[in-house]
Amino acid sequence: MKRNRNVKIVATLGPASSTYEMIRGLHEAGADVFRLNMSHGSHAEIEERHKIIRQVEKDLDSPIAILADLQGPKLRVGEFANGSEELEWGEPFRLDLDKAPGDKSRVCLPHPEIFQALEPGATLLVNDGKIRLRVDDCSPEHAGCTVIAGGTISNRKGVNVPDVILPLAALSDKDRKDLDFVCGLGIDWLALSFVQRPEDVTEARTLAGGRAAILSKIEKPAAVRNFEEILEVSDGIMVARGDLGVELPVQNVPPIQKRLVRRCRSMAKPVIVATQMLESMIESPMPTRAEVSDVSNAIYEGADAIMLSAESAAGQYPVEAVSTMNAVAVEVENDPTYREIIEASRTAKRHTVADGIVAAAREIAETTDIKAICCFTSSGTTAAKVARERPRVPIIAMTSQRGVARRLALTWGTQCVMTGELERFKQAVVNAARAVRAAGLGTETDQIVVTAGVPFNQPGTTNILRVAPCDERLIFRTDPE
């Protein structure tokens, strides 16, 4: 499925987008990756959506990535005798382990691990931050608080603890079961919620056992503080701005987003910008101007992908939301200012032979009349490094591994082509030339850049760059081996 843009689009599936016709329509409208939200839907429903995606992939002969997003631990208050209470500024309020129904003075918080980590002066946020409590005194069984932002508190509302690292694993018992289930189905990316430390990621990687790439969601202040270590052990990152905006001052989120996106690019790891991107399109066929600007800013920053959540999962206009994102992306990437920003933010780190090869490929492509950069990759690493360069010409990632082609659907600018096992570089060049012509990116009179590693099918061996004609007859004449 040829796109007229480089940034990728992630669409979440749900009740509004669970049929073959809708999922195919979303892919044709521009969705490159489908997100399965494990917070909603039974295993049977998830399995059915997975099956439909793979059928669409087969019918359209277009690699599609599937991202399963684990729920993570959910911290919630208990229930109230009256269903809800109104908390006023300056009033005392107590959280404890007593399971008795709550009232205006207290409620159960059935998470002893929170009390173990709290200290006086810490802040507790309830109901997406609408209610703010300051901890005055605490013990392993309670927290005595003062209301510093009041409002209605009701049954089972969520609690955020932004000031401390909680002694909680990122994977709950439900998450462990879900992880094994979706990895057994054959997903491509596994998104981890509630990541606070690199150990959270390594635990999930061990459980996944190589069956899926690991994507860490940055949604807690602790994850921002530990970002370098988390990025090092992750295959990709999601900037989950919803929870970040609850647990951090909202004005902190935009600069954090920019720093994280740029750092991911420097490490050649894909990064998704997510949450509330076109939220008004849940109920409206048109986005707000502010939402369009928000999507545009993520693209200008160089994000690999932008994501729709409820807009495509439960909204009234899922295809229109994807089409809108696609149209915004095409317009932004055709803006000369976009190129200026992307190239000004390019890092110049050269640590390996592969780094030098892909940098040279981009420079050659931009200083001569080159139609595409074709990279042969067995693990996806070379294609990711080419994408880090953000070249002006298309990137054709050629691989014999279906799973690699699917995972690269999340990486900026990559168009994946399946190829057979190769033993000789000349045959790789011929296959690349044919792929470029088949994609309509060049003719027999054009030239391409080809990168590969010899010996083939060994990750991390990128060591060859060649400028080649798109006419395989010329390739055979100039390279008779």
Q: Is 220 a catalytic residue?
A: no
Exposure string of 304-332, with b = 16+ CB inside 10 Å and e = fewer, is bbbbbbbbbbebebbbbbbbbbbebbbeb
Q: Which of 297, 286, 292 is nearest to 257 (CA)?
A: 297
Amino acid identity, residue 404? V
Return the number of other C-beta atoms located less than 10 Å from residue 478's C-beta. 11
Q: Is 275 a catalytic residue?
A: yes
- Which of 35, 106, 220, 371 is the catalytic position? 35
Q: Which of 196, 231, 220, 238 is nearest to 68 (CA)?
A: 238
Residues facing residue 125 across a β-bridge: 132, 160
* CA dist., res. 136 & res. 311, Å (int): 40
- Which of 54, 74, 76, 211 is the catalytic position? 76
User: Containing H/E element for 466?
Assistant: strand 462-469
Q: Is 225 a catalytic residue?
A: no
* CA dist., res. 37 & res. 225, Å (int): 26
Alpha helices in 368-449 (DSSP H): 381-388, 402-407, 425-438
- Which of 275, 377, 382, 414 is the catalytic position? 275
Distance from chain centroid for Cα 253: 17
DSSP state of 194: S
Q: Cα torsion for 301, 305, 308, 309, to the nearest 10°?
A: -100
- Which of 157, 217, 220, 371 is the catalytic position? 217
Q: Is 388 a catalytic residue?
A: no
Q: Which residues are catalytic?
A: 35, 76, 217, 275
